[in-house]
Amino acid sequence: MEPLIYELSVPGRVGVDMPEPDVPHFELPENLRRTEFHFPEVSQIDVTRHFTRLSRMNMSIDTNMYPLGSCTMKYNPRVNEDAARLNGFAQVHPLQSAEGTQGALYVMHALQGMLAEIGGFAAASLQPAAGAHGELTGILIMRAWHRSRGDNKRTTMLIPDSAHGTNPASSAMAGLTVVEIPSDARGNVDLAALQAHLGPDVCGLMMTNPNTLGMFEEHIQEVCDMVHAAGGLVYGDGANMNAIVGVVKPGDIGIDVMHYNLHKTFSTPHGGGGPGSGPVMVVDKLAAFLPGPVVRIRPGSDTDEENDGVPFYEWHTPAQSIGRMRAFAGNFGMLLRAYTYIRVHGEAGLRANSMNAVLNANYIQARIKHAYHAPFGQDRWCMHETVVQGKFEGAPDIKALDVSKRLMDKGFHPPTNYFPLTVPEALMIEPTESESKQTLDKFCEAMLEIAREAVTSPELLKNAPAHAPVKRLDEVKAARELVLCCKIV
Ligand SMILES: *Cc1c(COP(=O)(O)O)cnc(C)c1O
């Protein structure tokens, strides 16, 4: 085990010179003062080595292929970072006046417009901090719309079993009752089951398309029409938009509200690389309910001769807004990165990225499906990801988890395991457009080798990972006896 930074501590050792304070000295009252501090006492080189060591223990998109299904772990282009680091943006404060922040407001206004345009929607809010937060926002908008029409009885959300787990969670958080709709044998929503559940209690349907089986919903138009005919709205979980940007506009098909994950489709970093961002787009009739404030052009400013028709950007809270979902304007640094990504690629580039993402996933599916059963990939193309099964004839003890652990030994981050829940021993593989054919080939060869090893030397899989800094964890213990901070002795 690597030493904790506290274990490197030696009393009296320091790594910084604090500058003389440039503000007046102020004596805190005695009762507010702490006398003991548990800071590690370390030198600069201790700290540098410690964090460099930790960073090397990480698997990341900057070091290895990261085919984690549903997460769209695409490359985060460095030009995004250049834009986000520009002084005028990086130093801007959310409480500055609109007059002093026209550049930042311009970017947000343009991004609202581009995201709405890409999805086929009328308006957008950039506030939500991630995908699941966008879901909650969208559901609250749907609920508010029904209520504004005096329709207070719509308390049920229909959710296909091929949806992401956050969908039922967000619906429950918004106070709705969740009813699951099964999939049919081809991985589509079962239309008869949907029809049976439609009624005056239905707030709407929440669907992920392409769904978590990596399949485009073949009856999407019919599904939307059925829900609308029953008085409901359709929520589109846009987390899988990387498959269809520039090809399909969900708003044109009948989706009423949708979120994007900028940290997936629009190349902003995941996790440790920065916060997420989950903008929400809506059709025209829902625009008045968006969380406020959003950015708009001050009415008349763009035709005003006095300022030469230069538009003035300002904050505006829509008339029937559900209110704020978050402090300030959203994760602005992420908005800048996504804006940069869209502007660098343009319409043709974004479409090419989606098509390459789909091509890459199908290439993998085609190369490995004789060794890994692809339950929905036998007679269908997949979209941006393929779901296969980590179980083999002649290797009864081998599970999907063993395949994933062995992949780590071969230098790949594992795919998503045991999701979707409807596929036993699921391995969900999403290569994204970022990977070259050479890397895809290496990945496929590793997968095929593991399938052979599963039969000939299963212990290699059972004992994997052999080279990772942390071996197999006791996942039950980790969940039951969670340790959230290191103990200072
Ligand atoms: C990632 C994902 C979400 C949740 O998004 P977060 O940004 O992680 O909150 C929702 N639905 C699908 C299909 C996803 O892949």
Whole-number Å distance between alpha carbons of 383 and 389: 17
Superfamily of domain 1-69+369-489: Aspartate Aminotransferase, domain 1 (3.90.1150.10)
The pTM for the full model equals 0.92
Q: Give the position, in ligand 1's atom list, of the atom nearest the Cα of 163.
A: 13
Instruction: Take atom 2 of ligand 1 and give the residue whose Cα is closest.
Output: 239
Q: Residue 181 pairs with which residues in a beta bridge?
A: 160
Domain with CATH 3.90.1150.10 in the chain: 1-69+369-489
| pLDDT at position 305 | 81
Atom number of ligand 1 nearest to Cα 72? 15
Q: Mind listing the pLDDT tens digit of every residue in the chain (489 residues)?
A: 677 788 889 999 998 888 999 999 999 999 999 888 888 899 999 999 999 988 888 888 889 999 999 999 999 999 999 999 999 999 999 999 999 999 999 999 999 999 999 999 999 999 999 999 999 999 999 999 999 999 999 999 999 998 888 999 999 999 999 999 999 988 899 999 999 999 999 999 999 999 988 999 999 999 999 999 999 999 999 999 999 999 999 999 999 999 999 999 999 998 665 699 999 999 999 999 999 999 999 998 988 887 788 999 999 999 999 999 998 889 999 999 999 999 999 999 999 999 999 999 999 999 999 999 999 888 889 999 999 999 999 999 999 999 999 999 999 999 999 988 889 999 999 999 999 999 999 999 999 999 999 999 999 999 999 988 888 988 888 889 888 776 654
Residue 206 to residues 69, 117, 150, 162: CA-CA distances in angstroms? Answer: 20, 21, 22, 11
Q: How far is the CA of 275 from the centre of ligand 1 (A)?
A: 13
Q: Which residues of 227-252 are buried (b: 16+ CB within 10 A; e: fewer)?
A: beebbbbbbbbbbbbbbbbbebebbe
Q: What is the pLDDT of residue 230?
A: 98
Model pLDDT, residue 299: 93
Question: How far does CA 457 lie from the centroid of its chain?
Answer: 37
Residues 6+ apart with CB under 8 A from 81: 337
Pocket probe for ligand 1: among 237, 263, 334, 428, the residue whose CB has the most ligand atoms within 8 Å is 237
Going by CA atoms, what residue is nearest to atom 14 of ligand 1?
239
Q: 132 CA distance to ligand 1 centroid (A)?
A: 6
Could you tell me the distance, in angstroms and rounded to a whole number, from the CA of residue 71 to the centre of ligand 1?
7
For the CA of 130, the nearest atom of ligand 1: 7
* Topology of the domain comprising 78-342: Aspartate Aminotransferase; domain 2 (3.40.640)
Ligand 1 atom with least separation from CA of 208: 13
Judge whether 372 and 427 are in contact, CB under 8 Å.
Answer: yes
Distance of CA 128 from the midpoint of ligand 1 (Å)? 12
Closest CA to 207 of 158, 249, 248, 169: 158
Residue nearest to atom 8 of ligand 1 (CA): 131
CA of 164 to the centre of ligand 1 (A): 7
CATH 3.40.640.10 residue ranges for the chain? 78-342
For ligand 1, the distance from its centroid to the CA atom of residue 266, given in whole angstroms, is: 13
Give residue for tokens 């959300």: 157
Residues paired with 69 in a beta bridge = none
- Measuring from each residue's beta carbon to the nearest atom of ligand 1, which residues come in under 6 Å? 70-71, 130-132, 164, 166, 208, 212, 237, 239-240, 261, 276, 278
- Site to probe by mutation for ligand 1, drawn from 70, 162, 166 as the one with most ligand atoms within 8 Å of Cβ, is 166
What is the per-residue pLDDT for 410? 96
- Residue of 71, 72, 74, 164 to test ligand 1 pocket, by largest number of atoms within 8 Å of CB: 164
- Which residue has its alpha carbon closest to ligand 1 atom 7? 131
Distance from residue 249's CA to the centre of ligand 1 (Å) = 19
Q: What is the pLDDT of residue 436?
A: 97
How far apart CA 106 and CA 314 sit, in angstroms, is 9
